[in-house]
Amino acid sequence: GENVEQHPSTLSVQEGDSAVIKCTYSDSASNYFPWYKQELGKGPQLIIDIRSNVGEKKDQRIAVTLNKTAKHFSLHITETQPEDSAVYFCAASIPTSGTYKYIFGTGTRLKVLA
């Protein structure tokens, strides 16, 4: 069935180091991949996204890479700061029966240690 696997489930890094979160999707028809950040007590907020016709996208300290052949995409955060601590979710947009839906990963809890 359709699913998105996300790893790791938890990640601790020292402030200033880089963090990488990886997701693998199953449906080759997936064509849009957003990443959301959810801080404690808040709803998920979009931080970056990538479409299937692009291999990499960068926005300041965050970047996303997409490997369509391997069906995986990754979030990269450089120069991590304590305020980057949150739960991060990946998602894949899947067209289905004339509509589309998002399949979400199970989330990665990132802790940035000062």
Partner 1 sequence: ETGVTQTPRHLVMGMTNKKSLKCEQHLGHNAMYWYKQSAKKPLELMFVYSLEERVENNSVPSRFSPECPNSSHLFLHLHTLQPEDSALYLCASSQGAPGSGSGNTIYFGEGSWLTVV
Q: Which stretch binds partner 1 (CB under 8 A): 12-20, 34-42, 57-65, 67-75?
A: 34-42
How many angstroms separate the CA atoms of 74 and 41, rounded?
A: 25
Exactly one of 13, 20, 47, 103 binds partner 1 (CB under 8 A); which one? 103
32 binds partner 1 (CB under 8 A): yes
Q: How far is CA 103 from CA 4, 18, 31, 53, 76, in A?
A: 6, 26, 12, 19, 20
| Residue 42 near residue 73, CB atoms below 8 Å | no
4 binds partner 1 (CB under 8 A): yes
Could you say which residues in the range 35-94 bind partner 1, by CB under 8 A? 36, 41-46, 49, 51, 89, 93
Provide the 10 A C-beta neighbour count for residue 43.
7
Binding stretches for partner 1 (CB under 8 A): 4, 31-32, 34, 36, 41-46, 49, 51, 89, 93, 95, 98-107
